[in-house]
């Protein structure tokens, strides 16, 4: 090919194939805060993992903080967030619910995509609810969740997972019986709970 010339400067020569001023190994370095990413680009990933087996005493039907909580400062006030993960819990009675809460609001406003809209004066507003049949002490109810939030802030923000159960006990990342005897089956396995936040430019 012929030389590539801009004005009077040869920026690529036929003989070397190297762009003037750019090393053959390529361009290296760190993007600065002045870089604008295209809309829909993932600009940061935040995560938390709870891998401990827990037995908790809880108040019936009360929202209780889990160990999953992420605090960070958004890249931009225009950032949007996809929040997803797995929650492994078994209550001591039939029904349970979980929700993702943005700290500063115990009940996010109606229409929030973190939890359901208001429906009646007593129904809880959850991200996900779950239950089981037979009250089998060997069973855990792991659930996957995914929601979207648009807080419109560049200030520090915290997302945390809370749960509420019908009974007075909660078992996280384990079942109720939790036997450690020789030859225990796979239903005694310890699980993990996770929260992953994808920060997206807009």
Cβ-contact 147, 113 below 8 angstroms: yes
Structure tokens at 50: 């709870």
120-133 confidence digits (pLDDT tens): 888 888 998 887 65
Q: What's the pTM value of the predicted model, to 2 decimals?
A: 0.78
Q: Give the three-state DSSP class for 199.
A: strand
Q: What is the pLDDT of residue 197?
A: 97
From CA 69, how far away is CA 71, in angstroms rounded?
7
Give a three-class secondary structure readout of 26-65: CCCCCCCCCCCCCCCCEEEEEEEEECCCEEEECCCCCCEE
> Does the pLDDT at position 85 exceed 60?
yes
CATH of the domain at 100: 2.60.120.1340
33-55 mean pLDDT: 88
Q: Identify whether 163 is part of a domain.
A: yes
From CA 115, how far away is CA 112, in angstroms rounded?
6
Which residues, including other chains, have CB under 8 Å from residue 175's CB and lie 6 or more apart? 90, 137, 138, 139, 140, 187, 188
Q: Identify whether 34 is part of a domain.
A: no
Q: Give the three-state DSSP class for 130.
A: strand
Structural domains in the chain (count): 1
13-33 confidence digits (pLDDT tens): 655 555 555 555 656 667 766
Q: Identify whether 26 is part of a domain.
A: no
What domain range is 194 assigned to?
40-179+190-200
Q: Identify whether 13 is part of a domain.
A: no
């Amino acid at each position: 090919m012929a030389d590539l010339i801009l004005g009077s400067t040869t920026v690529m020569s036929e003989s070397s194939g190297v762009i003037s001023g750019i090393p053959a190994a390529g361009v290296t370095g760190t993007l600065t805060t002045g870089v604008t990413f295209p809309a829909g680009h993932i600009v940061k990933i935040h995560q938390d993992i709870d891998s401990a087996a827990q037995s908790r005493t809880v108040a019936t039907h009360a929202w209780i903080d889990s160990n999953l909580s992420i605090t960070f400062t958004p890249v931009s006030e225009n950032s949007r967030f996809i929040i997803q993960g797995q929650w492994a819990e078994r209550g001591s009675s039939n029904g349970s619910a979980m929700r993702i809460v943005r700290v500063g609001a115990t009940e996010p406003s109606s229409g929030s995509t973190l939890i359901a809209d208001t429906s009646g004066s007593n129904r809880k507003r959850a991200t996900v609810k779950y239950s089981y049949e037979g009250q089998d002490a060997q069973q855990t109810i792991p659930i996957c969740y995914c929601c979207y939030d648009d807080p419109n802030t560049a200030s520090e923000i915290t997302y945390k997972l809370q749960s509420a159960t019908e009974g007075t006990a909660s078992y996280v990342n384990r079942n109720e019986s939790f036997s450690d005897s020789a030859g225990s089956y796979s239903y005694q396995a310890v699980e993990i709970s996770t929260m992953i936040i994808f920060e997206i430019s807009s």
